[in-house]
Amino acid sequence: MNTLMNTQEIISLTEQNVLHTYNRFPVVFEKGDGVTLTDTDGKEYLDFGAGIAVFALGYGNQYVKDAIKEQTDKLIHTSNLFYHRPLAEAAAKVIAASGMDKVFFTNSGTEAIEGAIKTARKYAWLKDGGADHEIIAMNQSFHGRSVGALSVTGNSHYQDPFRPLMGGVRFADFNDLESVKAQVNEKTCAIILETVQGEGGIYPADPEFLKGVKAICEEKDILLILDEIQCGMGRCGSMYAWQQYGTMPDIMTTAKALGCGIPVGAFVLNKKVAEASLVPGDHGTTYGGNPLACAAVSAVFDQFEELKIVEHVQKITPYLEKTLDRLVSSLDCLTARRGMGLMQGLVVTGRPVGGVVSACLKEGLVVLSAGSDVIRLVPPLVITEQDIDRMADILERVLSAE
What domains are defined for the chain?
A: 7-57+308-400 (3.90.1150.10), 62-306 (3.40.640.10)
Between CA 238 and CA 78 the distance in angstroms is: 33
Between CA 239 and CA 228 the distance in angstroms is: 10
How far is CA 149 from its chain centroid? 14
Between CA 305 and CA 387 the distance in angstroms is: 22
Q: Give the mean pLDDT of 367-389.
A: 97
pLDDT higher than 80, residue 3: no
Between CA 119 and CA 113 the distance in angstroms is: 10
Helices (H) and strands (E) in the chain, counts: 14, 17
pLDDT higher than 90, residue 350: yes
CB atoms within 10 A of CB 298: 23
Between CA 155 and CA 319 the distance in angstroms is: 33
Q: Give the mean pLDDT of 15-26.
A: 97
Q: pLDDT at position 303, please?
A: 98
Q: Which residues contact 378 (CB under 8 A, 6 or more apart)?
A: 48, 49, 50, 52, 53, 230, 235, 342, 343, 344, 368
Between CA 49 and CA 37 the distance in angstroms is: 11
Q: Give the mean pLDDT of 301-314.
A: 98
Between CA 21 and CA 153 the distance in angstroms is: 19
How large a percentage of the chain has pLDDT more than 70?
A: 99
Quickly state the pLDDT bin for 174 (edges 50, 70, 90): very high
**Burial class for 185, CB neighbours closer than 10 Å (0-12, 13-18, 19+):** exposed
The pLDDT tens digits of the residues spanning 106-139 come to 999 999 999 999 999 999 999 999 999 999 999 9
- Say which amino acid occupies 196: V
Q: pLDDT at position 402, please?
A: 61
- Say which amino acid occupies 209: F
Return the SS3 of 147: helix
Q: pLDDT at position 255, please?
A: 98
Mean of the per-residue pLDDT values of the chain: 97
Q: pLDDT at position 200, please?
A: 96
pLDDT higher than 90, residue 210: yes
DSSP string, 178-196: HHHHHH--TTEEEEEEESE
Query: 20-44 burial string, b = 16+ CB within 10 Å, else e?
Result: eeeeeeebbbeebebbbbebbeeee
**Is the separation of the CB atoms in 265 and 258 below 8 Å?**
yes
The pLDDT tens digits of the residues spanning 217-267 come to 999 999 999 999 999 999 999 999 999 999 999 999 999 999 999 999 999
Q: Give the mean pLDDT of 190-208.
A: 98
Which of the pair, 9 or 3, is modelled with greater confidence? Answer: 9
> CA Rg, the chain, in Å?
21
How large a percentage of the chain has pLDDT more than 90?
A: 99
**Is the separation of the CB atoms in 291 and 86 below 8 Å?**
yes
Q: What values do phi and psi take at 120, rounded to 5?
A: -65, -40
Q: pLDDT at position 114, please?
A: 98
Q: pLDDT at position 2, please?
A: 54
CB atoms within 10 A of CB 118: 16
pLDDT higher than 70, residue 1: no
Nearest CA to 346 out of 360, 334, 359, 363 is that of: 334
Return the DSSP state at 162: G
Q: pLDDT at position 4, please?
A: 82
Return the DSSP state at 121: H
How far is CA 169 from its chain centroid? 22
